[in-house]
Every structure is written in structure tokens, then in C-alpha cells.
Amino acid sequence: MPEHDALVLSYSHLAKLPRANDALQTLKKVASLVKPIMRARNWKVRELAEFYPEQHNLLGLNINRGAKICLRLRHAGDKNQFMPIESVVDTMLHELSHIVHGPHDAKFHALWDQLRDEHEGLVLKGYTGEGFLSEGRRLGGSRIPPLEARRVAREAAEKRRARPGTGSGKRLGGSAPRPGEDIRRVIADAAERRSRILRGCGTDNLSETQIRNISDNATKNGFRTQAEEDEANDAAIAQALWELVQEDKSVEYGNSYIAPTADNPTGNGGGSVIPHRGPGGSSERSRESPGWTCSACTLHNPANYLCCDACGMERSEMSPRTQQVKSNRRSRSPVSQPAVIDLTTSSPPRDRQKSATTSRHSRPRVTGQEAASSGSQIWECSFCGTVMEKKWWTCSTCGKIKDNSR
């Protein structure tokens, strides 16, 4: 039994490129994976299109706040090779965030982080898009009651959790570090993946005319397919699973949790500090901490962090609001360090992460004024552009070794 509130109205794939049918199925799969997130906010996308732009780093576009979203599905330079589905989904979540926020500011990053966190919650519950039940076999007959959909979804999620090797799901941004793997490299790779998607968005890099021309070119060369109406049973199961994820969030945040809606797409998540619920804990901490955005990898960090939780970049400045918060905290009795939602990678405990970044921050960084007066006694990192003193061989920001000995 179909439902009539389709969230993605049509698809457009490049039919003249190799594996055209795979491209269409990938678009449908990506849309299916994010539909519960869209439905909660009443978002609709008129056209989800594949594009293969000349700019190798361009990954996605959002035209007119969801009228059309373009996604790169294939690797630049090899039209036969498709990008990992997790990477395409992350780009899709990024572009969906542009329905609400245009510029890449703190509000945008809070919403993007919230969407990534919700998607990860669905995946960890076992959600794989349409055909979630019975390994893809649809339920026959009329629409199942909501209570039955909820029971079946909960049962399937519990079975998945009990099945060996399936409890962790597939996280956006990669898996947990393997034993013996350099945690600094894991953190840097996670920050680079996030930064790559930001650089691959046309919002900051292209004019409105360029964006529209690229979009029109994708439509001109694409084959448009009208979206089929969603199966009501699939939608009911997805909704029930979404409610289970929201239950987990309510437990995680306590009574202060606010679920996302069409009027408040971010809710009160978005990577903010989780309220401490133990004796002496208070949800007031999360309201006091406006946070700050890393200038290197753009992760939104809690206000009490002096370096980025993802890439280790030192905070550039301290706002008056943050100083006031720190002053207020000093006047109170100490409380335990709150946990933090890590949305870019699976993090180790806080003390291990700090030790991984200490060596980089112990070296002095050179300011632009010092660089001008130092002449040849400095060098510039070819990867991130940080200016370093000549005596240092590795960049204090990204860890790259300088290209030559001069």
C-alpha cells in the first residue's frame, strides 16, 4: 500500500555514463537512507540528481533550498568507479543542511552534526533503507498498525544487536582505530574527510550563476525518473525505528532533550555537550556553552575546549561570552568532565586524545608578522598553509613533513 507524501519526487542519473542503472539505484538508496531524517523535519527534495562536474573536488550542490540536490557518485578521473555509499550519504546530509542554513557557520555545523548523529543512530539500529524487514522482502496486505510496526522494528533491532559482528553498524567517517594504529593519523583523517566535504560544496566556492549552470548541465545530460510512492509498510517501519532512536536520545540527554521538528530542525543536539545526569550534574552546562568552530577542520567544539576535539588545532581566540562562562564555572563546585558526542570518528578516551596532540602543540607557531621579519628562516606547509620556523621539520597543525631541507 503506497503512501502519498513522497519526500524525493524524482531522480536524474547520467544515462550515457557506464553503469547507469547502478547510478540510479545509488540515488534511490541514498534517498531511502535519509528519509526518516527528512520526514521528521517535513523536508522535501523535488529532484535528486547525479552530476559529474569538471571540478574534481566538487561533491554536491543544493539549488534553491532543496529544489534540486546534485551529488557526485563517481570518482573523478574514473567514471566506472563509484564512491563509497557512506561518503555520498554524508554529502547528502551536508546538502540537506543547506535547506535551513546557507553559509557554513556555527548553526550550519550544529545541524549537519545533528543529522550525522541521527543517521548513525538509525544505522546502529540496523536501518538499511527501504526493505528493512526480512532482508528486503516486503510485507504484503494492507498497512500494518503503528504498534505492530513498532514491535517488529524493535524486535529486528534487538536481533541485530544480539547477532555477532553486527552491533557496531557502519559509521559515517570511518571505523574505529585498529590496535596499534596511530591515533593521530586517525584523527587527522577524520578531520580531512570532513574538510573535504566542505571544500566539495559549491556554496562557498561558486557563484549563483556557476551553481545554476552546473545544475542545468546535469539535468540536460541526465535521464529523469519519477519517484515511486513509498510503501506504507516501509514508511511505518522507518518511523518506528526513528522513534526508537529518539528514545535513546531521550535517555542520553535526559529531560532536557528536544526532538527535531520542522520548526526546530536541530533540536538541542548538534554536537553540544551532553548534560551530566549524576548527583550534582545539571543541564545548565549545555545551555551555557555556545561552543566555537575550528578554523582548520570546522568541527563545532564545546566552549571549554582549548583545542579542537578532531584535529587538535588550538583555539584562535576566546570570546567574552566564553570568558564569562569560565568565570561562572570557577565560582561553582567542581563537577565531572561531561561526555561529548564525537561525530567524525570513533574516539578513544579523552586522556589518550590529549596525549596524541600534546607533541604538536608544544611547538611554537609563527604568526604572519613574525614570518615577514624572519625571511628565509621560515617555511610554509604545502598541505595546510601553516607558517613554521625553519628548525621544525613537521607542521604543528597537520603533521606534514616539509618538502625539502632548505
pLDDT in tens, 241-268: 888 888 888 887 777 788 888 888 888 7
The number of beta carbons lying within 10 Å of the beta carbon of residue 71 is 22
Residue 223 belongs to what H/E stretch? strand 223-226
Q: How many domains does the chain have?
A: 3
Q: Say if CB 56 and CB 79 are below 8 A apart.
A: no
- 47, 50, 95, 118: which one is catalytic? 95
Q: Residue 20's closest CA among 222, 214, 217?
A: 222
pTM above 0.75, yes or no: no
Query: What is d(CA 40, CA 262) in angstroms, rounded to the nearest whole number?
Result: 7
In a domain, 347, yes or no: yes
In this prediction, residues 80-100 reach a mean pLDDT of: 94
- Residue 311: give the domain boundaries: 262-359
* Residue 292 backbone phi and psi in degrees, to 5: -150, 160
What pLDDT is attached to residue 164?
55
112 and 30 together in one domain:
yes
Lowest mean pLDDT among 19-23, 204-208, 220-224, 344-348: 344-348
89 by Cβ neighbours in 10 Å (0-12 / 13-18 / 19+) ranks as buried
59 and 86 together in one domain:
yes
What pLDDT is attached to residue 167?
44
What pLDDT is attached to residue 88?
94
User: Model confidence over 266-304: pLDDT tens digits?
Assistant: 887 644 434 444 444 444 433 444 677 877 777 777 776
**pLDDT band at residue 55 under the 50/70/90 scheme:** confident
What pLDDT is attached to residue 374?
47
Q: Say if CB 102 and CB 208 are below 8 A apart.
A: no
Lowest mean pLDDT among 34-48, 61-75, 167-181, 373-387: 167-181
141 and 211 together in one domain:
yes
124 and 30 together in one domain:
yes
In a domain, 311, yes or no: yes
196 and 334 together in one domain:
no
In a domain, 16, yes or no: yes
Percent of the chain past pLDDT 70, that is, above it, reads 58
Query: What is d(CA 62, CA 45) in angstroms, rounded to the nearest whole number?
Result: 10
Q: Is 288 a catalytic residue?
A: no
DSSP string, 247-269: HHHHHHHGGG-----SS-TTTT-
Mean pLDDT in the chain? 71
What pLDDT is attached to residue 94?
94
Which range of 97-106, 124-133, 254-263 scores highest in mean pLDDT? It is 97-106
What sections of 49-84 are H helices per DSSP?
none
301 and 213 together in one domain:
no
In a domain, 248, yes or no: no
Query: What is d(CA 127, CA 167) in angstroms, rounded to the nearest whole number?
Result: 12
324 and 175 together in one domain:
no
In the numeric block, which cell numbers belong to residue 366? 609563527
